Amino acid sequence: MKYLSTRDESVRIESSYAIAKGISPEGGLFVPETIPRLTLDEIGALAGKSYVDRAKSILSRFLTDFTPEELDSCVTGAYGSNFSSEKIAPMAFVKDGLNILELFKGPTCAFKDMALQILPRFLTIAGKKAAGGTKIIILVATSGDTGKAALEGFRDVENTQILVFYPSDGVSPMQKLQMCTQEGKNVAVSAIKGNFDDAQTGVKNIFTNPDIIKKLADNNMAFSSANSINWGRLAPQIVYYVSAYCDMVESGKISCGDKINICVPTGNFGNILAAYYAKEMGLPVNKLICASNSNSVLTDFLTTGTYDRNREFYTTISPSMDILISSNLERLLYHIAGSEKVNEWMSLLKAEGKYTVDDKTLSEIKDLFAAGFCDDEATKATISKVFREDGYLCDTHTAVAVTVYENYRAQTGDMTETVIASTASPFKFSKAVLEAIEGRESSLDEFDMVKHLAEITGLECPAPLANLKEKQVRFTGCCSRDNMDEVVFNMLGI
Ligand X SMILES: *Cc1c(COP(=O)(O)O)cnc(C)c1O
Q: Determine if 294 is a binding residue for ligand X (CB under 6 A).
A: no
Binding residue (CB under 6 A) for ligand X from 182, 268, 339, 418: 268
Distance CA 395, CA 427 (A): 8
Q: How far is the CB of 145 from ligand X (least distance, A)?
A: 5
Distance CA 107, CA 190 (A): 21
Distance CA 359, CA 57 (A): 37
Closer by beta carbon to ligand X, 190 or else 328: 328
Q: How far is the CB of 332 from ligand X (least distance, A)?
A: 12
- Only one of the segments 122-130, 266-274, 277-285, 371-379 lies at the binding site for ligand X (rule: CB under 6 A); that segment is 266-274
Binding residue (CB under 6 A) for ligand X from 6, 134, 181, 266: 266
Is residue 112 among the annotated active site residues?
yes
Q: Determine if 186 is a binding residue for ligand X (CB under 6 A).
A: no
Q: Determine if 423 is a binding residue for ligand X (CB under 6 A).
A: yes
Q: Which of 112, 148, 279, 431 is catalytic?
A: 112
Closer by beta carbon to ligand X, 222 or else 324: 324
Closer by beta carbon to ligand X, 270 or else 462: 270
Q: Determine if 320 is a binding residue for ligand X (CB under 6 A).
A: yes
- Only one of the segments 48-56, 216-224, 269-277, 355-363 lies at the binding site for ligand X (rule: CB under 6 A); that segment is 269-277
Closer by beta carbon to ligand X, 186 or else 425: 425
Distance CA 101, CA 116 (A): 18
Q: How far is the CB of 272 from ligand X (least distance, A)?
A: 6
The DSSP line for 390-405 is: H-----HHHHHHHHHH
Cβ neighbours, 10 Å, residue 477: 13
Q: How far is the CB of 68 from ligand X (least distance, A)?
A: 29
Q: In the window 100-139, what residues touch ligand X (CB under 6 A)?
A: 110-112
Q: Determine if 321 is a binding residue for ligand X (CB under 6 A).
A: yes
Q: Does residue 373 come out as left (phi exceeding 0), alpha (psi in the -120 to 50 range) or beta? A: beta
Closer by beta carbon to ligand X, 112 or else 176: 112
Q: How far is the CB of 63 from ligand X (least distance, A)?
A: 20
Q: In the window 342-371, what residues touch ligand X (CB under 6 A)?
A: none
Binding residue (CB under 6 A) for ligand X from 22, 106, 232, 270: 270
Distance CA 324, CA 268 (A): 8
Closer by beta carbon to ligand X, 112 or else 287: 112
What is the maximum alpha-carbon separation in the chain? 63
User: Which residues lie closer than 8 Å to 188 by C-beta, 6 or more apart?
Assistant: 161, 162, 163, 164, 475, 487, 491
Using the 8-state DSSP alphabet, how is residue 459 labeled?
A: P
- Only one of the segments 66-74, 268-276, 343-351, 364-372 lies at the binding site for ligand X (rule: CB under 6 A); that segment is 268-276
Site string for ligand X, 367-406 (x = CB under 6 A): ------------------------------x---------
Q: How far is the CB of 359 from ligand X (least distance, A)?
A: 26
Listed residue (226, 129, 142) closest to 176, CA to CA: 142
Distance CA 452, CA 79 (A): 31
Using the 8-state DSSP alphabet, how is residue 448 labeled?
A: H
Q: Which strand (E) or helix (H) includes residue 125?
A: helix 119-131
Q: What's the full length of the chain, in residues?
A: 494
The DSSP line for 154-203 is: HTT-TTEEEEEEEETTTS-HHHHHHHHT---TTEEEEEESS-HHHHHHHH
**451 and 461 in contact (C-beta within 8 Å)?**
yes
Total chain residues near ligand X (CB under 6 A):
17
Q: Is 87 helix (H, G, I), strand (E, B) or coil?
A: coil
Q: Does residue 144 come out as left (phi exceeding 0), alpha (psi in the -120 to 50 range) or beta? A: left
Closer by beta carbon to ligand X, 235 or else 479: 235
Measure CA of the first residue to CA of the last residue in the chain; give whole Å. 38
Closer by beta carbon to ligand X, 66 or else 373: 373
Site string for ligand X, 222-251 (x = CB under 6 A): ------x-----------------------
Q: How far is the CB of 123 from ligand X (least distance, A)?
A: 19
The DSSP line for 257-277 is: T--EEEEEE-SSSHHHHHHHH
Cβ neighbours, 10 Å, residue 414: 14
Site string for ligand X, 246-265 (x = CB under 6 A): -------------------x
How far lies 252's CA from each of 99, 262, 418, in Å? 12, 18, 14
Closer by beta carbon to ligand X, 14 or else 152: 152
Q: How far is the CB of 148 from ligand X (least distance, A)?
A: 11
Catalytically active residues are: 112
> Which residues are near ligand X by CB under 6 A?
110-112, 145, 228, 265-271, 320-321, 397, 423-424
